[in-house]
Amino acid sequence: MIDILNAINDYIIVIGENGVTKFCNKTLLNKLNYKNNELDNININNILFNKDFDLIKNIDTEYNMDLNFYNKDKNCVSLNSKIVRKCFNGEQSIFIISKNTEEISQIENIKNEFFANISHEFKTPLNIILGTMQLLERNILDDNIISKSEIDLNRHTKCIKQNSYRLLRLSNNLIDMTRIDTGYYELQLGNHDIINIIEEITLSVSSYMEEKGIKLIFDTDSEETILACDPDKIERIVLNLLSNAIKYTDLGGEINVYIKTCDSKIVVSIKDSGSGISQKKLPSIFERYVQDDSQYSKRSEGSGIGLSLVKSLVEMHQGKIYAKSKLGIGSEFIFEIPIRLVEEKDIKYIKKDKEHLRIEKCNVEFSDVYNV
């Protein structure tokens, strides 16, 4: 077992219930500038910067915490540590398994930079392809381009455009998740009627629901509620939740969008009569790259980052989101936004072609549900 622990790249130290060290692997010895056996049979508090053993010994289950160690030169070394209770040489012991927080941060930065770069590299040619397809569609419609065979040009151009939208959706999500992780993602807050925003975006996708034979019900207990929000991000949240609801709801099903004002917050519920989410996966549905392995996920493939992005956007509005679901009955996604206002001097006004942008957002968001 000692040979295995010494071969592991993680930093590992084993201590007894009395706080005396039993073993320290070579990786940690090298990190702290100690030689073989120099850390054997010493009190762990001698090398813990904050003398945390009293806290560690009371941990019964696996637990993650940041620990600061002294190296041989009495400098502080910060390690992201996991506390685990296991047997060592036949005795119950406490394992501290650590990773270097600086190394983790560097790896995270490299990963974020990679995602950002590759996403931008995807997006540039995709926009060119979409622009070219729009030009081709216009010329086909005007009979400037005619097929001499029985090839359906419209069907092929729509197929290319739809799959381009799918890739564009993935690129947008990856770029935005990277910007959120690196702190470069900002809300364009203003004081807006959130009831009107949600109603408009919901009604704008009613044609998609009609095409699939799904009944849409929209209701609110308030005609107007002004609060600080970013309309584009609210639209994105609602579009994502609606596309999920449509995706997993069969012909003849029903989707309810209900808004209510509760104390000092607005509560938005998007409920479907679809296939539902397994109870096993429900607690982790908003985690990045997590997908349900039940019927819910098998009906449509995805990247597993849509709901994670939605959660981040809601939390940037100082709100929260959660889900309720039962397999075979349906799902309900609920998000809450606090009712607060932003001062006029802090509002940034940006002119946008709302109708054109909304159509484009719908095309991108529903690209894996409908032909566009």
3-state secondary structure of 209: helix
Q: Are strands 265-272 and 330-338 parallel, antiparallel or unpaired?
A: antiparallel
Where does a domain end: 128, 148, 181?
181
Regarding whether 205 and 352 lie in a shared domain, the answer is yes
Phi, psi for residue 88 in degrees, rounded to 5: -135, 120
Q: Which amino acid is residue 128, in one-letter code? A: I
Regarding whether 108 and 96 lie in a shared domain, the answer is no
Regarding whether 109 and 87 lie in a shared domain, the answer is no
96, pLDDT greater than 70: yes
Percent pLDDT > 90 in the chain is: 17
156 falls in which pLDDT band (50, 70, 90)? Answer: confident
- pLDDT greater at residue 112 or residue 231: 231
137 falls in which pLDDT band (50, 70, 90)? Answer: confident
Q: With respect to residue 197, please indicate whether it lies within any of the assigned structural domains.
A: yes
Average pLDDT, the chain: 81
Query: Half-sphere exposure of 322 toward its Cβ, with a 13 Å CA cutoff?
Result: 5
* DSSP character string of 17-49: TTSBEEEE-HHHHHHTTPPTTTTTTSBGGGTBT
Per residue in 204-228, pLDDT (tens digit) is 888 778 888 899 999 998 889 999 9
Q: With respect to residue 83, please indicate whether it lies within any of the assigned structural domains.
A: yes
Domain total in the chain: 3
pTM of the model: 0.63
Percent pLDDT > 70 in the chain is: 85
Where does a domain end: 146, 181, 216?
181
Regarding whether 332 and 244 lie in a shared domain, the answer is yes
What is the distance between the alpha carbons of residues 141 and 144, in angstroms, rounded to a whole number?
Answer: 8
366 falls in which pLDDT band (50, 70, 90)? Answer: low
**Largest Cα–Cα distance of the chain, in whole Å?**
86
- The token pair that represents 287 in the structure block: 């985690």
Q: With respect to residue 371, please indicate whether it lies within any of the assigned structural domains.
A: no
Regarding whether 252 and 226 lie in a shared domain, the answer is yes
Regarding whether 61 and 32 lie in a shared domain, the answer is yes
pLDDT at 77: 85
Inter-CA distances, 140 with 87, 127, 330, Å: 73, 20, 42
Look up tokens 């560097």; give the residue: 106
110 falls in which pLDDT band (50, 70, 90)? Answer: confident
pLDDT at 331: 92
67, pLDDT greater than 50: yes
pLDDT at 357: 57
What is the distance between the alpha carbons of residues 93 and 87, in angstroms, rounded to a whole number?
Answer: 6
369, pLDDT greater than 80: no
Regarding whether 128 and 44 lie in a shared domain, the answer is no
- pLDDT greater at residue 294 or residue 69: 69
Q: Which amino acid is residue 214, in one-letter code? A: I
pLDDT at 243: 86
Q: Say if residues 257 and 216 touch (Cβ distance below 8 Å).
A: yes
Per residue in 310-364, pLDDT (tens digit) is 999 999 999 999 999 988 889 999 999 999 998 876 666 555 545 555 556 666 6
pLDDT at 268: 95
Q: What range does the domain containing 155 cover?
A: 104-181
Per residue in 250-287, pLDDT (tens digit) is 888 999 999 999 889 999 999 999 888 888 888 888 88
Rounded to an integer, what is the distance from CA 138 to the centroid of its chain? 37
103, pLDDT greater than 80: no
